[in-house]
Chains A and B, each alone.
Chain A
Amino acid sequence: MIQIEGLVKAFGHTYALRGIDLEVAEGEFLTIVGPNGAGKTTLLRILATLLKPTSGLVRMNGRVLSPGDTEIRRQMGFVSHQPLIYSDLTVEENLHFYGRIYDVHRLEERVDVLLDLVGLEGRRHSLAGTLSRGLQQRLSVARSIIHEPSIMLLDEPYTGLDQQATRMLRGLLGAVSPQSHAVVMTTHNLAHGLELCDKLVILSRGRIVYQAERGSLTLAELQEAYWLYAEGEGGLGAG
């Protein structure tokens, strides 16, 4: 589903990614954890076509990723810690807008389904700017799946959420993930990362320093591995 080969990204002389090789199979949920500056967001932004890699190759659904490929973007949904919604538009108007630029057919029906799914039916006519951070993030999830993407990219989706909002979002992502054929999530939070994933990698200073299957991993083992491979290496990288 997603194949990454020798991916390098440099910003001037600073390397954010130093040769990433990774594969996400169909139906797989991959979590990427790592300290600040490990290159998690850079990696996800390259997968989302928001950044151009310096070298290396990414294939998604058999297509080589290129920034000019508009079709590949139709297959992706992207959620970040910024909700990417317009605060002066209502919840419904935000979804209509994104539905139009994603060429969603039967948009009215799709908006109804999504509002129901994310529990915002009662806030349909509220301005997005008046929603709490947690509700904005739920709207962001609805925005990201309006075109029924086969690949979900989640970049630190829990950042800035309180405990209750985090719990709600975790439930929502758990419900939404099976509808996608592959999910890649970055997070700081090891417990959140481990909970939903099938496979987990630790990224540190632009390199994959640890990989494990979910089934064989406990939180305690992950914390130990994280300390050993990520924090132990100093953790501070570029990007």
Chain B
Amino acid sequence: MQFLNKTLAIVWKDVLAELRTKEMFSSMFVFALLLVVIFSFSFDLRVEKVAEVAPGVLWVTFAFAGTLQLNRALSAEIEEGRLDGLLLAPMERSTIYFGKMLGNLLFISATEAVMLPIFSVVFNLNLIRPAFLLTVFLGTVGFAAVGTLLATMAANTRAREVMLPVLLFPIILPVVISAVKLTAGILDGLPWASLAHWLRLLIGFDIIFLAVSYMAFDYLVQG
């Protein structure tokens, strides 16, 4: 119960700060919007091409925009030593990980929720359906799980903005591939049975990333 209470305290602290500044949401939203516009022009999307490229464009957009959130969320803690304030508290260090991870999940999901209708209009596709929303959620969980850990690692380096994508994108590849394949299958109207292995892979990587990050975080923040 204490674990949950403290995890939620960390999430709520980030939500309060974001509600006040709207710094991260607006940055992610504008960046994601610009990416969609650039992709739509650069691919010269005609009706027959849309379904082929839309899943990739969608997940590249979410991954790039999400990286902004990951970078900012952790560097804000490490700037001026605020992470010490959390590390000094009488709680397992994994509480900090889950608090920051849930915050990242929440903010990235909020951006995705705003972007999906825009995406639907720009690409003339119906993306607001349960199977697709589940895919987005599962993909975002994996992204936030490993991204929070790697952002903590990168935040301690001088070139943190460069370091995070360099560390994150190779590792997150299985999640992105599974999510893209699932998205494509859903858009093509394939039955769930033929997509089940991608779904299992996505859930599997979510669990692995969460477990590894949970175990590694304590070691990472220990001086």
Contacts and interface: CB of A to CB of B under 8 A. Distances in A.
Nearest to B21: A88
B82 A84 contact: yes
Interface stretch (B32-40, B44-52, B86-94, B203-211): B86-94
Given A83-B80, A127-B20, 5 more contacts: A48-B84, A78-B88, A84-B84, A93-B16, A101-B90
Contacts of A98: 85, 89
A84 B87 CA distance: 11
Interface string A116-151: 000000000001000000000000000100010000
Contacts of B218: 68
A93 to B, nearest CB: 6
Contacts of A59: none
A52 B89 contact: no
A101 B91 contact: yes
Given A50-B84, A52-B222, A97 B13 contact: yes
A102 B90 contact: yes
Contacts of B80: 82-84
Given A73-B90, A88-B21, A101 B223 contact: no
A27 to B, nearest CB: 23
Contact of B16 (A76, A82, A89): A89
Nearest to A73: B90
A219 interface: no
B162 interface: no
Nearest to B83: A84
A50 B88 CA distance: 7
Contact of A73 (B6, B21, B81, B88): B88
Measured as residues with beta carbon below 8 angstroms from the partner, the interface class of chain B is 20 to 34
B222 A70 contact: no
A86 to B, nearest CB: 6
A48 B13 contact: no
A43 to B, nearest CB: 13
Nearest to A143: B85
A52 B93 CA distance: 15
Given A88-B17, A101-B6, A67 B84 contact: no
Contacts of B2: 103
Contact of A101 (B17, B81, B89): B89
Q: Output the residue of B10, B86, B88, B89 with the most chain A CB within 10 A.
A: B88
A82 B89 CA distance: 16
Contacts of A147: 90
Given A97-B13, A100-B5, A74 B90 contact: yes
Contacts of B88: 48-50, 73, 76, 78, 84
A53 B12 CA distance: 34
Given A70-B90, A74-B90, A101 B82 contact: no
Contacts of B6: 100-101
B173 interface: no
A221 interface: no
B218 to A, nearest CB: 8
Contacts of B89: 73, 98, 101-102
B9 interface: yes
Q: Output the residue of B20, B82, B89 with the most chain A CB within 10 A.
A: B89
B13 A70 contact: no
Interface string B1-38: 01001100110110011001100000000000000000
Contacts of A113: none
A51 B82 CA distance: 15
A101 B222 contact: no
A71 interface: yes
A80 interface: yes
16 contacts: A70-B90, A70-B92, A76-B88, A80-B84, A82-B80, A82-B84, A83-B80, A84-B88, A85-B85, A86-B17, A89-B13, A93-B13, A93-B16, A100-B6, A101-B6, A101-B91
A120 B91 CA distance: 28
A110 interface: no
B19 to A, nearest CB: 9
Q: Output the residue of B5, B6, B84, B90 with the most chain A CB within 10 A.
A: B90
Contacts of B91: 70, 101
